[in-house]
């Protein structure tokens, strides 16, 4: 097993705003350096913690510039030339996949300390084009730019995420009224948390942006007047879809043996989140937003737990419809009794959705809420994301002290 002993994130900026001038590695490097420093201060890295380097850096990213972004970021963070890097792409689940990959490496005995997370700079992501003569068009004559790579090959559904969210809302009977209410609630939670300084401990301020720029007060009466954003007659609007964003997040993971050696239970041990189980699943590519449901079901089964036993659930809020379809399937009421359990300080609708980082942001939020927030040992948290192409990813963690 492995234990998350530190977790940080950058402010999340709406694409084209405060973080628009920073390249992906420039977002990731200060976050990696900060979380490494946090881990060093725990004493888990030895008496001279700053000299102890991680065995690897694993970062998720969807639209990065290539060149092994994790390695570039590790070097930029000043971690030393001996620290390697691995970049993973599981689309919106990339940051969470990076953490599970690091967990697997530690569990296998390859290393006992890894930094893992995700980063996305939508503002500086490169434009892509098919080479001349190789464009996938009927006449095959010229280079063609494209907005995104396919999530699925020909013969399979390959919807953009917005129309897919409309389809999911229709398939699962998620009303426009509930979507508007959920988006407004997410922003209200985030504003409350921001005003209370809840995010301060986890944030690594960056040039031109010291805090998340997205949260604002939303009036459901005004939201009700907004037009569908993606399909005629659809229910998803610009307010109930997460914004394209820039940001980074990372956590420090150590082996359970290294953590256990620091002292007796509750006496001298560094508080953290032990990874109990992880799961990645596939689902119908036509309804990719559904992927979080089977992923959560799978990870709870592996952890031998039920959703009623989980204190805090962080679901990446790509769309309000997506979250509501997931919580409906799990028997949760995020607009009522479970408001304090599901994204209790708001989620991607309010903070922003830097695709490759969002899964790691969810784990960082769990760390702040459960560990920094003082929850007792044994308290469970869950993070999950639906993924383009029809996949889902989830993780169950428990507080250790």
What are the domain boundaries of the chain? Answer: 161-198+275-400
* Closest by CA position to 362, among listed 401, 395, 400: 395
Q: Give the count of beta carbons closer than 10 Å to the beta carbon of residue 291.
A: 30
pLDDT at position 243: 97
Given a contact cutoff of 8 angstroms between Cβ atoms, the answer to whether 246 and 55 are in contact is no
For residue 274, the SS3 value is strand
What distance lies between CA 276 and its chain's CA centroid?
18
353 is known as an active-site residue:
yes
Task: Yes or no: say if 333 and 327 are a contact pair by the CB < 8 Å rule.
Answer: yes
242 pLDDT more than 80: yes
Distances (CA, A) of 297 to 95, 305, 326, 383, 392: 20, 10, 11, 12, 10
SS percent in the chain: helix, strand, coil, step 5: 35, 25, 45
d(CA 293, CA 154): 26
Give the residue with greater pLDDT, 260 vs 391: 391
Q: For residue 245, what are the β-bridge partners? A: 14
CB 238 within 8 A of CB 229: yes
pLDDT computed for residue 264 by the predictor: 67
- Name the β-bridge partners of 129: 145
Q: Which phi and psi (to 5°) does residue 120 adopt?
A: -150, 130
**What pLDDT is stored for residue 139 in this prediction?**
56
Task: Supply the pLDDT for residue 276.
Answer: 98
CA–CA distance, 117 with 95 (Å, rounded to integer): 5
Name the pLDDT band for 43 (thresholds 50, 70, 90).
confident
User: In the structure, what pLDDT confidence band is assigned to residue 266 with cuts at 50, 70 and 90?
Assistant: low
Q: Which one of the listed residues 25, 36, 92, 343 is annotated catalytic?
A: 92
Q: CA–CA separation, 299 vs 276, rounded Å?
A: 9
Mean pLDDT score of the chain: 94
- Average pLDDT of the segment spanning 103-115: 97
Average the pLDDT over each of 78-87, 125-134, 214-223, 226-235 and give the range with the smallest value.
125-134
Q: What is the pLDDT of residue 136?
A: 56
The pLDDT of residue 42 is above 70: yes
Tens digits of residue pLDDT in 276-335 = 999 999 999 999 999 999 999 999 999 999 999 999 999 999 999 999 999 999 999 999
pLDDT score recorded for residue 133: 62
Residue pointed to by tokens 């737990």: 305
pTM (two decimals): 0.95
Please compute the mean of the pLDDT values over residues 204-211 and round it to a whole number. Answer: 95
Confidence (pLDDT) at 127 = 86
pLDDT digits 0-9 by tens, 49-68: 556 899 999 999 999 998 99
For the chain, give the percent of residues with pLDDT over 70: 95
Name the strand (E) or helix (H) holding 313.
strand 310-315
Pairing between strand 56-60 and 85-88? parallel
SS3 91: helix
Q: Which residues contact 2 (CB under 8 A, 6 or more apart)?
A: 102, 103, 106, 107, 253, 254, 255, 256, 274, 275
pLDDT band at 106 (very low <50, low <70, confident <90, very high): very high
**pLDDT tops 60 at residue 377:** yes
Phi, psi of 128 (to 5 degrees): -120, 150
Half-sphere exposure of 234 (CA within 13 A, CB side): 21
Looking at the domain covering 161-198+275-400, what would its CATH class be?
Answer: alpha beta
Q: Cβ-count burial of 192 within 10 angstroms (0-12 exposed, 13-18 middle, 19+ buried)?
A: middle
Given the residues 25, 36, 187, 353, select the one marked as catalytic. 353
Which tens digit of pLDDT belongs to each residue from 324-374? 999 999 999 999 999 999 999 999 999 999 999 999 999 999 999 999 999
Asked whether 179 and 324 are in contact (CB, 8 A), the reply is yes
Q: Which is nearest to 322 in space by CA: 357, 300, 293, 350? A: 293
* The pair of three-digit structure tokens given for residue 113, joined into one six-digit string: 């300390």
């Amino acid at each position: 097993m492995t234990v998350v002993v530190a977790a940080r994130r950058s402010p999340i900026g709406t694409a084209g705003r405060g973080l628009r001038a920073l390249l992906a590695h420039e977002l990731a490097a200060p976050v990696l350096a900060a979380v490494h420093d946090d881990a060093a201060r725990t004493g888990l890295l030895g008496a001279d913690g700053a000299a102890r380097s991680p065995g690897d850096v694993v970062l998720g990213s969807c639209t990065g510039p290539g060149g092994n972004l994790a390695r570039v970021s590790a070097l930029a963070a000043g971690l030393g030339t001996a620290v390697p890097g691995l970049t993973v792409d599981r689309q919106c689940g990339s940051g969470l996949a990076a953490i599970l990959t690091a967990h697997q490496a530690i569990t296998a005995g390859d290393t006992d300390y890894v930094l893992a997370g995700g980063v996305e700079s939508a503002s500086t992501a490169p434009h892509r084009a098919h080479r001349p003569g190789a464009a996938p068009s009927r006449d095959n004559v010229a280079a063609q730019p494209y907005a995104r790579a396919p999530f699925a090959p020909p013969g399979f559904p390959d919807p953009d995420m917005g129309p897919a969210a409309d389809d999911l809302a229709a398939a699962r009977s998620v009303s426009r009224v509930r979507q508007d209410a959920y988006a407004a609630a997410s922003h209200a939670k985030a504003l409350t948390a921001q005003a209370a300084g809840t995010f301060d401990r986890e944030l690594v301020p960056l040039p031109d942006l010291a805090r998340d720029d997205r949260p604002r007060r939303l009036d459901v009466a005004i939201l009700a007047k907004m037009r569908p954003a993606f399909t005629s007659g659809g229910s998803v609007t610009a307010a109930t879809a997460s914004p394209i964003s820039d940001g980074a997040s990372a956590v420090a993971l150590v082996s359970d043996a290294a953590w256990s050696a620091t002292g007796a239970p509750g006496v001298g041990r560094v508080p953290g989140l032990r990874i109990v189980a992880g799961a990645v699943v596939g689902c119908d590519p036509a309804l990719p937003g559904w992927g979080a449901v089977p992923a959560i079901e799978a990870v709870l089964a592996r952890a031998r737990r039920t959703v009623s036993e989980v204190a805090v659930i962080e679901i990446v809020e790509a769309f309000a419809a997506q979250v509501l379809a997931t919580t409906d399937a799990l028997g949760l009421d995020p607009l009522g009794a479970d408001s304090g359990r599901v994204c209790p300080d708001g989620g991607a609708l309010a903070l922003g959705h830097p695709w490759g980082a969002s899964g790691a942001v969810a784990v960082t939020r769990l760390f702040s809420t459960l560990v920094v927030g003082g929850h007792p040992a044994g308290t469970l948290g869950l993070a999950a994301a639906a993924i383009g192409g029809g996949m889902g990813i989830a993780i169950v963690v428990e507080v250790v002290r």
